[in-house]
Chains A and B, each alone.
Chain A
Amino acid sequence: MELNELLIWARGPAFNIALAIFVFGMLLRLFEILSLGRKEDLSAARGSGVAGGLRTILSRSLPRQTLFSREPLRIINGYLLHIGLFVVIFLYRPHIELFERLFGVSWMGLPTGVVDAVTAVTILSLFVALLIRIYNPVLRFISTPGDYLIWLVTLLPLVSGYMAYNHLLLGYTLMLTLHILSVELLLIVAPFTKLTHMFSFVLARWYQGYLAGRRGVES
């Protein structure tokens, strides 16, 4: 297979397959979680569950003083990683082109040089995250092979994208192809690993916040 054929395959049929698996898997998982439901709460409500739920969805994105003072590196690194991923995925013009095609809406991007620098920081933060996972005994103990797998499939698109843009190691066409393929791998793996948290974090926070809000306690 020639290089260009591989690129055509990656941009066409392969992306279709990956996208189908991603959408299918994610809906399946979310449907499962939602359909499990909760036991009816028969106690008298002391506060608004809905308000608590909505508040918690947002408030859990802010650092907590107590946790932060205990493990500042882990929390700062977590922010770097997630904000970095957001910038790289959603504020790079060629990526926005893709979302525009998908959803019909477009938005401003950042200069390519800025995205390039953010990519480098994000890659570094992923390695810091791995070191924290390995050197923290509790984290190491509760880590499954799946956790290391999602670390890898998150790293690959970042590294291949960075290398393609900066013309490192391989030719641009091949690197671009590898980049697209690595994203497809991420899409396929995501619904069946802890990467589902890209959507399910909303549900989890909602439940927590709802329960707390109903009981009239802070969450």
Chain B
Amino acid sequence: MSSLDQIEVMVEGEENPEMVRSVLSEITALLECWLTEGKPGVIDLQGLPLTATDYQQLEEKLGRGEVSITIQVLGKSQILETAFPGVWYVIHRDEVSNILTKQIEVIDIPSIVLSQRVEMEQALERLKSDSNMTF
């Protein structure tokens, strides 16, 4: 009897440089827009029909920058600067590490990193009540 893993399956990697080139040109336009008009830009990579090969090529082109941030909230989120300052990978995962969104953000700092005002106010109250405590 044959088992499933005996069936030979090979998926041809489809070379599609057009796809990567168009993503790169969109990034260029978004960065230009951010610098001149101050408008942030987002590219949803999951909304594009990119193959694994395409992702790899894109990652090779963009490279890695100086900043990498990990956020632990409802699963892990990674915010990675590329070799092009202002161009970030923002990857959100759920509790079991499935990718929720994989985006490229063009901005000085992705807003998910920033502390939220409401929570900072709550923090202030907590600190004030804590300051009465003695060490």
A–B contact via C-beta, under 8 angstroms: no
> Which residues from chain B sit less than 8 Å from chain A, CB to CB?
none
> Which residues from chain A sit less than 8 Å from chain B, CB to CB?
none
